[in-house]
Amino acid sequence: MKNNKAVVPIISSKDTIKYKTQNQIFNLNRNNLLLTQTPQAFRFKELYKITKNQKNKVTDEATLFINNDFKIKFIPGEKANNKITYIDDIKTPKTFYGIGFDIHKLVENKKLYLGGVKIPFHSGLEGHSDGDVILHAIIDSILGAIRKKDIGTYFPNTKQFKNIRSPKMLKPIMINLNKSNFFINNLDINLICQKPRVSKYRDKIIKSVSKLTGINENQINLKGKTVEKLGLIGKEKAIACETIISITKYD
Ligand code: ZN
């Protein structure tokens, strides 16, 4: 402002803008379009003078300066500088976090499912369902983030759900989630087991979880945690899993 009467930030337009007259619509060349931002700075004396004589409504002070052939110094604006005009401009999506945990006993003569993937192993996870600790922990973390109680509320140990496959449990939860305008940003999984080696099945499990949840593979992380052969997990008698999920709600 030391050397100028008016300083206005501008950015290029990412939208192609049309110009409407009474009964015709014209295309404007996007390369020539400049979006003026706020705040805009003016010398008070000039601004006061031209505003005082102004009869028509204008949408910014820069318009007045241009209409009066006053020189404006344009400087680069910032795309992140969002202008607040309407109530929608200050509505920001809300993000919620949910935590999930599950553990099942390993027993012989049962198939092992982790994240919906069948994994060759000496034992499988015991449970009312297929005992998929990863999918169960994911379900609980989703329910936690949207504050809808826990997995047992929707899938109690009743005859109806005996031997249910876990992808079947996840499906209605995902359908409900997507209906309510929730969007999953990030899913982090800790699989806690002595064996099998997580690194061997990581890609397969992530692919499967991605398919079952609709989350992009690059938004899912799977970490393997052995327990130094300690306790029941260390002796390959159980497998546990914990997950944290980040979910954004758009109104
Ligand atoms: Zn479970």
Summarize pLDDT for 222-242 with one digit per residue, the tens: 999 999 999 999 999 999 999
pTM: predicted TM-score of the whole model, two decimal places = 0.72
Say what the pLDDT of residue 147 is: 95
User: Do 99 and 215 belong together in one domain?
Assistant: yes
Burial 183-201 (b: 16+ CB within 10 A, else e): ebebbebbbbbbbbebeeb
User: Do 116 and 164 belong together in one domain?
Assistant: yes
Give the whole-number percent of the chain exceeding pLDDT 90. 78
User: Do 133 and 241 belong together in one domain?
Assistant: yes
List of residues 6+ apart from 54 with CB closer than 8 A:
64
CA of 44 to the centre of ligand 1 (A): 69
pLDDT at 251 over 80: no
CA of 115 to the centre of ligand 1 (A): 12
| Domain CATH for 30 | 3.90.550.10
| Domain CATH for 129 | 3.30.1330.50
Task: Tokens for 158, please give them.
Answer: 């009743």
pLDDT digits 0-9 by tens, 95-146 = 999 999 999 999 999 999 999 999 999 999 999 999 999 999 999 999 999 9
User: Do 58 and 128 belong together in one domain?
Assistant: no
Say what the pLDDT of residue 174 is: 96
User: Do 39 and 64 belong together in one domain?
Assistant: yes
Question: Is position 1 within any domain?
Answer: no
Question: Is position 174 within any domain?
Answer: yes
Q: Which of 52, 74, 89 is the last residue of a domain?
A: 89
CA of 29 to the centre of ligand 1 (A): 59
Question: Is position 229 within any domain?
Answer: yes
User: Do 67 and 151 belong together in one domain?
Assistant: no
Q: Give me the domain span that covers residue 31.
A: 6-89
CA of 179 to the centre of ligand 1 (A): 25
Q: Which of 67, 89, 111 is the last residue of a domain?
A: 89
pLDDT at 212 over 80: yes
List of residues 6+ apart from 24 with CB closer than 8 A:
none
- On average, the pLDDT of the chain sits at 93
Say what the pLDDT of residue 29 is: 92
Say what the pLDDT of residue 196 is: 95
pLDDT at 54 over 90: no
- Give mean pLDDT, residues 21-29: 91
CA of 39 to the centre of ligand 1 (A): 55
